Amino acid sequence: MEITKRSKVKDIEKIPGVVEIIKKHTGQEMAPAMFKMAAFMTLQSAAKQAGWGDDILQKCIDDLNAAQGS
């Protein structure tokens, strides 16, 4: 399944290296509890809440898709 800005946070939590990918682009380390709290938010909504710009979000999405082989 391809990850997009409209994907839910719960859709990315099992992708290998997700925490490292987010940290690489945002400088923020995401605790497992953060994934649970935002599970039903879209990535776009969660990124806005975290203060990430569209460019940062897109870089994360690109790496997440690469990590899962999409």
Residue 32 pLDDT: 85
CA distance 63 to 51: 19
Residue 70 pLDDT: 53
How many residues are present in the chain? 70
CA distance 38 to 69: 24
Q: What is the pTM of this model?
A: 0.89
| Domain ranges within the chain, ordered by starting residue | 9-67
Count of other CB atoms within 10 angstroms of residue 13: 16
Indicate the average pLDDT of the chain: 93
pLDDT digit string, tens, across residues 8-33: 999 999 899 999 999 999 999 888 88
Burial 24-34 (b: 16+ CB within 10 A, else e): ebbeeebeeeb
